[in-house]
């Protein structure tokens, strides 16, 4: 089983360029990180059937203990922690609001779709089964999942399901519009707050810096400078937000890139080491084993 390492802003497409919508099922193998910190430009709707999870959104924590729906707005930093080994996981629909655009500027386009695309309105944070909107929205959510057809049955074995089938896309769009209609009818959309949390923006800026500079030597002072903090305070700030030190996070990201190179290229191990920001082969091998319980050569052979 491949390790689930850190990700930043997701660069993989959710769905296809023509139809940016995809569904996911993330299943837990035990206590620990289920989905690591990341953010994306799409809307995400999460469904938990129960279990014990900690969902973190923009550095705010939410405890999942029963069936519920959560909504992730574009650009929100989020992660999921499994807090009990018996917890199953979560289902997700990720879509770009642009797929719901109308050419005619009717009320839906002007008052809902366009403000959603422009970041002027936001989804509710969560819904519980006792809310009158929960049943209809969950019904439409299930319809979206089922509209992906046979692909949805094997989601636990892949990164997600997409579809280019016309009929499926029409059902998916109609189901997403039903979700928006129910939320609107219950007045659950709210204006986006103008004063964004600077701490979240600071974390996102730091993660982006790591992504863009992981091949080079990264010093704590460089990361702290990005967010105008002293080094000591920055380290405490970062660990509180992400759950591990900046150096641990940098090493995780570098090993993630090493795994990608081992899977996608025939580069010698020494070149993989250098490409991932390690100037010492011994350090690289030690960190790789720490996160994967194997060596780069053994990992490549298993693949």
Structural domain contains residue 4 = no
DSSP run (H or E) holding 270? helix 269-275
Residue 172: pLDDT over 80:
yes
Which residues, listed in sequence order, are joined to residue 64 by a DSSP beta bridge?
Answer: 53
Average pLDDT over residues 162-171: 92
Residue 217 and residue 107 in one domain: no
pTM: 0.74
Task: Report the phi/psi class of residue 111: left, alpha or beta, with left for phi > 0 and alpha for psi in -120 to 50.
Answer: alpha
DSSP per-residue codes, 100-111: G--SS--HHIII
Range with the largest mean pLDDT of 20-24, 83-87, 178-182: 178-182
Task: Decide: helix, strand or coil at residue 69.
Answer: strand
Residue 127 and residue 145 in one domain: yes
Average pLDDT over residues 12-29: 84
Residue 181: pLDDT over 90:
yes
pLDDT number for residue 303: 64
Residue 30 and residue 168 in one domain: yes
Residue 49 and residue 171 in one domain: yes
Structural domain contains residue 130 = yes
Q: Give just the sign of the alpha carbon dihedral 287, 291, 294, 300.
A: negative
pLDDT bin (cut points 50, 70, 90) of residue 31 is: confident
Residue 123: pLDDT over 90:
yes
Backbone angles phi, psi at 158, to 5 degrees: -145, 180
Residue 70 and residue 180 in one domain: yes
Residue 52 and residue 127 in one domain: yes
DSSP state of 9: B
Which residues, listed in sequence order, are joined to residue 69 by a DSSP beta bridge?
Answer: 47, 127
pLDDT bin (cut points 50, 70, 90) of residue 12 is: low
Average pLDDT over residues 29-48: 89
Structural domain contains residue 101 = yes
Burial label for 9, CB within 10 Å (0-12, 13-18, 19+), is middle
Residue 177 and residue 50 in one domain: yes
| Percent of all residues in the chain with a pLDDT value above 70, rounded to a whole number | 91
The CB density around residue 42, as the number of other CB atoms within 10 Å, is: 23
Low-confidence winner among 69-78, 81-90, 117-126, 150-159 (lowest mean pLDDT): 150-159
Token pair for residue 176?
A: 């997403």
33: CATH:
2.60.120.10
Residue 13: pLDDT over 70:
no
Structural domain contains residue 288 = yes
Residue 167 and residue 247 in one domain: no
Q: From CA 60, how far away is CA 241, in angstroms rounded?
A: 9
pLDDT number for residue 38: 87
Domain boundary residue among 191, 222, 244? 191
Number of domains in the chain: 2
Structural domain contains residue 9 = no
Q: What is the pLDDT of residues 255-302, one digit of tens each?
A: 989 999 999 999 999 999 999 999 999 999 999 999 889 999 999 988
Q: From CA 128, how far away is CA 70, in angstroms rounded?
A: 9
pLDDT number for residue 156: 46
pLDDT number for residue 85: 83
Residue 176 and residue 208 in one domain: no
Q: From CA 159, how far away is CA 94, in angstroms rounded?
A: 12
Q: Are 163 and 72 in contact (CB under 8 A)?
A: no
Structural domain contains residue 228 = yes
Residue 52 and residue 184 in one domain: yes
Residue 124 and residue 96 in one domain: yes
Domain limits for position 171 = 21-191
Residue 55: pLDDT over 60:
yes
pLDDT number for residue 1: 34
DSSP run (H or E) holding 32? strand 32-38
Domain boundary residue among 173, 191, 209? 191
Average pLDDT, the chain: 88
Which residues, listed in sequence order, are joined to residue 91 by a DSSP beta bridge?
Answer: 25, 47
Q: What is the pLDDT of residues 127-160, one digit of tens each?
A: 999 999 999 999 999 999 999 876 544 444 445 7
Q: From CA 141, how far away is CA 25, in angstroms rounded?
A: 13
Q: From CA 105, how far away is CA 148, in angstroms rounded?
A: 29
Structural domain contains residue 276 = yes
Better-predicted residue by pLDDT, 242 or 4: 242
Structural domain contains residue 90 = yes
Q: Are 144 and 174 in contact (CB under 8 A)?
A: no
Domain boundary residue among 136, 169, 191? 191
Average pLDDT over residues 154-178: 81
Which residues, listed in sequence order, are joined to residue 105 by a DSSP beta bridge?
Answer: none
Q: What is the pLDDT of residues 190-209, one digit of tens each?
A: 998 765 678 888 888 898 89
Angstrom CA distances, 18 to 12, 102, 148, stand at 14, 15, 15
Residue 64 and residue 165 in one domain: yes
Residue 212: pLDDT over 50:
yes
251: CATH:
1.10.10.60
């Amino acid at each position: 089983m491949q390790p689930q390492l850190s990700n930043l802003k997701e660069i993989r497409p959710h769905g296809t360029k023509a139809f940016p919508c995809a569904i996911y099922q993330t299943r837990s193998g035990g206590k620990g990180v289920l989905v690591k910190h990341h953010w994306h430009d799409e809307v995400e709707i999460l469904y938990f059937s129960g279990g014990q999870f900690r969902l973190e959104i923009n550095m705010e924590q939410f405890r999942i203990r029963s069936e519920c729906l959560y909504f992730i707005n574009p650009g929100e930093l989020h992660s999921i922690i499994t807090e009990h080994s018996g917890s199953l996981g979560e289902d997700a629909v990720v879509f770009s609001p642009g797929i719901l655009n109308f050419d005619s500027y009717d009320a839906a386009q002007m008052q809902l779709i366009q403000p959603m695309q422009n970041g002027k309105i936001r989804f509710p944070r969560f819904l519980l089964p006792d809310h009158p909107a929960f049943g209809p929205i969950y019904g439409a959510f299930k319809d979206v999942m089922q509209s992906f057809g046979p692909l949805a049955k094997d989601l636990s074995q892949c990164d997600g399901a997409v579809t280019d089938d016309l009929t499926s896309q029409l059902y998916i769009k109609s189901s997403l519009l039903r979700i928006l209609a129910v939320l609107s009818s219950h007045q659950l959309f709210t204006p986006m707050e103008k004063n964004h949390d600077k701490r979240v923006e600071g974390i996102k800026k730091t993660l982006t810096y790591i992504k863009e500079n992981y091949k080079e030597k990264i010093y704590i002072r460089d990361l702290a400078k990005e967010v105008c903090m002293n080094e000591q305070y920055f380290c405490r700030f970062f660990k509180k937000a992400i759950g591990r030190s900046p150096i641990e996070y940098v090493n995780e990201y570098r090993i993630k890139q090493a795994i990608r190179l081992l899977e996608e290229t025939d580069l010698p191990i020494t070149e993989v080491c250098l490409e991932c920001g390690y100037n010492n082969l011994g350090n690289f091998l030690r960190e790789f084993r720490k996160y994967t319980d194997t060596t780069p050569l053994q990992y490549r052979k298993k693949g």
